[in-house]
């Protein structure tokens, strides 16, 4: 489907969801009222009215999500004023100028991401750079990632994501309710609601994948296809390396009660220590992953193909990301890394303690390591 047509269709489905539910309710009330006025159809009207009434109660219950707009979980993010990262602010501004993209209102560094963008409750554009990218990437590679993320602002993806949040809550609640009660499958109203959900989710996924390809093109245009492909390998393949995974590192230190202050430097060191066989095996597993119809991101194979770089060549480039380190863009990266490490370890420690407590309650012994 043409990207512009897909974008229009997605926006229409997004805007029409609540009017659709309202019209469906009004229509069913009209049908039931009409049948009640006819004595012959009155018994059937009672049955349909009861089914519709149950559905209406659930729709109204799901509508409580309209009043819910929790802010993003920012505990694992730190704001980066210009004095803390003067070089990063300059780099972001330069990329925005060169690619004719919007400059974010705020830049943050995050512990559990490589990079992402979002619009907060004040309507401000937030760019989050992952500590893993700071510790691992060269400045050239990071520039491509930043261009990719800023392109999402230009395309309106962050704003659309925020607008779709409440609709997603309502849909998730209704889908959960209907799935847990097989009897609802006999209700034609439920068929229509679930059909809308299916169509919306399918179009959302298609639109999201199109936007990722468009953002990749900004990445390639700024730093070239080879550097862009190398950065993409790090984004997609690192999680396939169990002992390099950030969560695994944090859990190992908590379980052994060892102190750690620079967990992202530790992650970068482990990634550099991975041999070629492990990288190739992780890449193969990622390339074998099939793209699902509801996936928000294209598969790695398709993204590399669009860039015009073979997986083998991209991996070779990823294993040799030389260049000026991103840490040079910060006035005191070690302090920032210590604070983020402390926050991440605190969360993992609380989770570990909770699991130990549950193991003692249900098994009568501590959870095995």
Mean pLDDT for the chain overall: 83
Given CA atoms 113, 115, 116, 122 in this order, what sign does their dihedral have? positive
Pairing of strands 125-130, 115-119: antiparallel
Segment 255-267 mean pLDDT: 88
Please give the pLDDT value at position 45.
66
Please give the pLDDT value at position 272.
80
d(CA 196, CA 353): 43
Burial 258-274 (b: 16+ CB within 10 A, else e): eebebbbbbbbebbeee
Q: What is the pTM of this model?
A: 0.80
Segment 16-43 mean pLDDT: 74
For tokens 């990071």, the residue is 142
Among the ranges given (29-33, 69-73, 146-150), the one the predictor scored with the smallest mean pLDDT: 69-73
Band the pLDDT of 368: cuts 50, 70, 90. very low
Please give the pLDDT value at position 286.
92
Q: Percentages helix, strand, coil for the chain, rounded to the nearest 5?
A: 75, 5, 20
Residue 318 structure tokens: 């990823």
Start-to-end CA distance of the chain, whole Å, equals 50
Spatial CA neighbour of 263 closest among 72, 73, 75, 76? 76
Q: How far is CA 141 from CA 96, 149, 230, 298, in A?
A: 16, 13, 8, 20
Cite the beta strand spans of the chain per DSSP E.
Answer: 77-79, 106-110, 115-119, 125-130
d(CA 177, CA 273): 48
Please give the pLDDT value at position 367.
46
Band the pLDDT of 60: cuts 50, 70, 90. low
Percent of the chain with pLDDT over 90: 31
Segment 222-247 mean pLDDT: 85
Q: How far is CA 73 from CA 76, 111, 118, 295, 369, in A?
A: 7, 12, 12, 23, 29
274-326 confidence digits (pLDDT tens):
888 888 999 999 999 888 999 989 999 999 999 999 999 998 888 775 678 99
Order of strands, edge to edge, in the sheet holding 77-79? 77-79, 106-110, 125-130, 115-119
For tokens 């992202």, the residue is 264
185-224 confidence digits (pLDDT tens):
777 778 888 899 999 999 999 999 998 998 899 889 888 8
Pairing of strands 106-110, 125-130: parallel
Band the pLDDT of 362: cuts 50, 70, 90. low
Please give the pLDDT value at position 37.
67
Please give the pLDDT value at position 7.
85
Strand, helix or coil at 109? strand
């Amino acid at each position: 489907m043409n990207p512009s047509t897909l974008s229009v269709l997605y926006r229409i489905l997004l805007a029409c969801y609540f009017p659709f539910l309202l019209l469906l309710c009004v229509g069913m009330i009209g049908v039931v009222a009409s049948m009640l006025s006819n004595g012959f159809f009155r018994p059937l009207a009672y049955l349909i009215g009861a089914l519709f009434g149950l559905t209406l109660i659930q729709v109204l219950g799901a509508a409580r999500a309209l009043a819910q707009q929790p802010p993003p979980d920012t505990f694992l993010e730190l704001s980066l004023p210009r004095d803390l990262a003067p070089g990063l602010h300059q780099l972001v501004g330069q990329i925005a100028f060169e690619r004719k993209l919007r400059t974010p209102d705020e830049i943050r560094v995050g512990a559990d991401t490589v990079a992402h963008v979002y619009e907060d409750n004040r309507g401000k554009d937030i760019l989050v750079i992952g500590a893993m990218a700071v510790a691992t990437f060269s400045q050239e590679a990071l520039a491509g990632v930043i261009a990719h993320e800023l392109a999402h602002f230009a395309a309106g993806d962050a704003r659309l994501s925020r607008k779709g949040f409440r609709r997603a809550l309502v849909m998730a609640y209704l889908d959960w309710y209907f799935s847990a009660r097989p009897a609802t499958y006999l209700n034609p109203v439920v068929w229509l609601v679930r059909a809308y959900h299916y169509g919306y989710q399918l179009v959302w996924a298609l639109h999201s994948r199109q936007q990722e390809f468009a953002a990749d093109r900004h990445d390639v245009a700024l730093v070239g296809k080879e550097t862009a492909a190398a950065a993409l390998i790090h984004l997609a393949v690192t999680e396939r390396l169990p002992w390099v995974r950030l969560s695994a590192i944090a859990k190992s230190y908590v379980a052994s009660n060892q102190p750690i202050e620079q967990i992202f430097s530790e992650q970068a060191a482990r990634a550099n220590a991975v041999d070629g066989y492990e990288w190739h095996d992780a890449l193969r597993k990622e390339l074998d992953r099939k793209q699902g119809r509801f996936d928000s991101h294209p598969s790695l194979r398709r993204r590399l193909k669009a860039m015009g770089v073979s997986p083998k060549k991209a991996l070779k480039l990823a294993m040799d990301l030389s260049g000026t380190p991103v840490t040079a863009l910060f006035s005191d990266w070690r302090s920032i890394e210590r604070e983020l490490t402390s926050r991440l370890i605190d969360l993992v420690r609380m989770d570990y303690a909770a699991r130990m407590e549950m193991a003692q309650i249900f098994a009568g012994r501590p959870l095995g390591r």
